[in-house]
Structure 1
Amino acid sequence: MAFQIGPHIAQRLRLSMTGEMWHGSAIAELLPHFTATQARQHPIAGAHSVWELVLHMTAWADIVAQRLDGDTQGYPAPDVDWPPVPAAATAQAWARAKTRLFAAYETLAARVESLPEERFAKTVDGQDYTTAVMLDGVVEHAAYHGGQMAMLWRALST
């Protein structure tokens, strides 16, 4: 059987959240370190909080899924790109944010698995890059923000 990009990218999306990564911890390994209170903190001046990162990653998984469905929106508004953290830093709200992140990535991975192979070489509607480039970007986005989360944990732990 020939290599298929859809299942490959879907696996990479899932691994970025829950799997063993070659470069460091997956998101599921990082997030349990943070309580709701810690997730809201900004221990590094000028950096986003872990909670902000979780909401931002969720937003982009959703945006990419919408683009797969033909949505031609441009760059999202600031409150869509970086949704606000709830005013109440409850454990329940934090748990919902984390659950929503993992669900958004799983939904996207399942959607990617169902795409026809020729779709990956096509330009995304309203953009100047291909579907494969966009989806690789989501994987890279998770790795980037996972690294930030690891640094935030170190800053909180010192």
Structure 2
Amino acid sequence: MKEKINEFVRSLSEAFEGEPWYGDSVMRKLENLPYEVGYKTCIPESHSVSQIVGHLIAWKKLAIERLKDNEEYSIEIDSEIDWPNIQVHSREEWEALKRKLVAAQGKIYELLNAVEDDSFLSKKVKGKGYDFAYLLRGVIQHDIYHIGQIGLIESQLKKKEIESGVFKT
């Protein structure tokens, strides 16, 4: 039986591209964001939306490697891999970045769909002190956390960019 795994897939999907009760999913938030603000920040020290998307891709890749039992792959916190310096200056670049994010999410679904039964969820992740259920809850929580960041950046930039016409009123 894969009832719990199927529930994780539904929860991952809801946060990523669905209609969660708390507001926009990751992709809905990104689809409604003009590419022109993808590289902008609210304050100089903060991350841009495109950097956050790169960060989401990086951590989805980590989850993919963990799901494939690759204990060698890791991400150093605050490194270039963790927070890539992505600059988006065109609609094409913005769409390509979003496609990479969707592809990473799709790979997670693919790997979970190949799992035979729910016992997988209690299996320890190689080299870690946690199981796959914990890893998957983390992926969901990570998406939700960064939706909030993107929403905050969007609201702050709307105030700054309203005169430029980037955001339609």
Task: Give the TM-score normalised by the residue count of structure 1.
Answer: 0.90
**TM-aligned CA deviation for residue 3 of structure 1:** 7.0
Contact 2:65 2:73 (C-alpha < 8 Å) held by counterparts? no
Instruction: Specify the alignment match of 1:123 in structure 2.
Output: 124
Higher helix share: 1
Separation in structure 2 between the aligned mates of residue 13 and residue 37 of structure 1, nearest angstrom: 28
Separation in structure 2 between the aligned mates of residue 123 and residue 23 of structure 1, nearest angstrom: 31
Q: Structure 1: give runs of 5+ residues left out of the alignment.
A: none
**TM-aligned CA deviation for residue 75 of structure 1:** 4.1
Percentage of matched positions with identical amino acids = 24
Task: Give the TM-score normalised by the residue count of structure 2.
Answer: 0.84
1:3-40 deviation line (CA, Å, top 9, x unaligned): 72111111111111211111221112211233333010
1:30-88 deviation line (CA, Å, top 9, x unaligned): 112333330100114533111011111111111111111111136413122122204x6
Separation in structure 1 between the aligned mates of residue 48 and residue 123 of structure 2, nearest angstrom: 35
Separation in structure 1 between the aligned mates of residue 102 and residue 6 of structure 2, nearest angstrom: 18
Separation in structure 2 between the aligned mates of residue 63 and residue 148 of structure 1, nearest angstrom: 21
Instruction: Specify the alignment match of 2:137 in structure 1.
Output: 136
Partner AA of 2:133 in structure 1: A
Note closer, same or farther for the CA distance 1:130–1:38 as it changes in structure 2 (3 Å cut).
same
Contact 1:14 1:106 (C-alpha < 8 Å) held by counterparts? no
Instruction: Specify the alignment match of 1:83 in structure 2.
Output: 84
Partner AA of 2:45 in structure 1: G
**TM-aligned CA deviation for residue 151 of structure 1:** 0.7
Contact 2:15 2:26 (C-alpha < 8 Å) held by counterparts? yes
Contact 2:62 2:74 (C-alpha < 8 Å) held by counterparts? no
Separation in structure 1 between the aligned mates of residue 155 and residue 44 of structure 2, nearest angstrom: 14
What pairs with 1:9-28 in structure 2 (closer than 5 Å)? 9-28=8-27
Separation in structure 2 between the aligned mates of residue 145 and residue 152 of structure 1, nearest angstrom: 10
Q: Structure 2: give runs of 5+ residues left out of the alignment.
A: 160-169
Query: Relative CO higher for 1 or 2, CA cutoff 8 Å, sep ≥ 6?
Result: 1
Note closer, same or farther for the CA distance 1:152–1:102 as it changes in structure 2 (3 Å cut).
same
Farther off after superposition, 137-146 or 10-19: 10-19
Partner AA of 1:7 in structure 2: N
Query: Runs ≥4 in structure 1, deviation > 4 angstroms?
Result: none
Separation in structure 2 between the aligned mates of residue 131 and residue 140 of structure 1, nearest angstrom: 14
Q: Higher Cα Rg: structure 1 or 2? A: 2
Instruction: Compute the RMSD of aligned alpha carbons.
Output: 1.8
Partner AA of 1:143 in structure 2: I
Q: Find the residue that maps to 1:80 and give its secondary structure.
A: coil
